[in-house]
Amino acid sequence: MEVVIKNIPLLKKKEWAGKILEKFKGEKNIGESWEVSTHFSGVSNVLYKERKIPLNEFVKKFENVFGFSEFPIMVKFLDVGKILSVQVHPSDEIAKELGENDKGKSEGWISLSEGKVYLGAKDYSKEITLENLKVFEAKPFDTFPIPAGMVHTAENILLLEVSTPSNLTYRIYDPYGREVHIDKAKKCIKPIESKKDSMKLEMQQFYAEVIEINEEKNFMDEKVNVLVALDEIEVESKNSVKLKKYESCIILPGNEYIVKGKGFVVRIYPKD
């Protein structure tokens, strides 16, 4: 069977969308490109044997290969032209306590451009406002872990988001007039220390790393891998897939593969 599977993303228009993704995805006002998702709020697709198949159907068809029936992570591009809402995600425990149908969410961001990332409050004894958030002037390949309970937003930046499979968000402030969830948000907020790293994003549930490719590089992993191209590359294994900039693919677990080209990729995999 084919082991390198090209993703066909689910594109979502947003009020805050920038102008970067539309150049690569072929549609205007694209704020989010869901590269990998089996979540009920939006399922991405894959190209398998020249057929477009919903990822959740593909995973169930090859559940014995994947070792799971639901993809354990979500991967998205966020093209943030204007500022996002000030928001927080609950833990699994808080989501259950609040009677939600969705699970809690932890995520991390990898910046692909310069821009602003706001993480955590300066003073948790005061009201959570934009002015009370810690500001990071992000540069390409800076990474920001955002565990459940951390208040966050971003502005004027292209991000790659990796998260647990959830779409549960509580808005504290929204500049676009959408519903806010102050009471629920207050139950979630934790005084978590905000931090940034570079080139790698390590969280309890997943790991992501930015890797420079100079001609070619070999990989072998017993876990499923998601590979996001930041430049044009080719991925070779039992089959071969070419990826343009900001395209992605899944490599089935237990396979050796070679990435060819010049530039950068992001390699992502779930932890046990």
171 assigned to active site? yes
With H, G, I as helix, E, B as strand and everything else as coil, classify residue 193: coil
**Cα–Cα distance between 272 and 256 in angstroms, integer?**
20
Buried b (16+ CB within 10 A) or exposed e, 71-110: bbbbbbbbbbbebbbbbbbbbbebbeebebebbbbbbbbb
**Cα–Cα distance between 105 and 74 in angstroms, integer?**
10
Residue 86's H or E segment, with its range, is strand 86-88
Q: Which of 51, 171, 178, 267 is catalytic?
A: 171
Kindly report the backbone phi and psi dihedral angles of residue 187, in degrees, each rounded to the nearest multiple of 5, phi listed first: -70, -20
Kindly report the backbone phi and psi dihedral angles of residue 203, in degrees, each rounded to the nearest multiple of 5, phi listed first: -130, 170
| Cβ atoms of 146 and 200 closer than 8 Å | no
**Residues that are catalytic:** 171
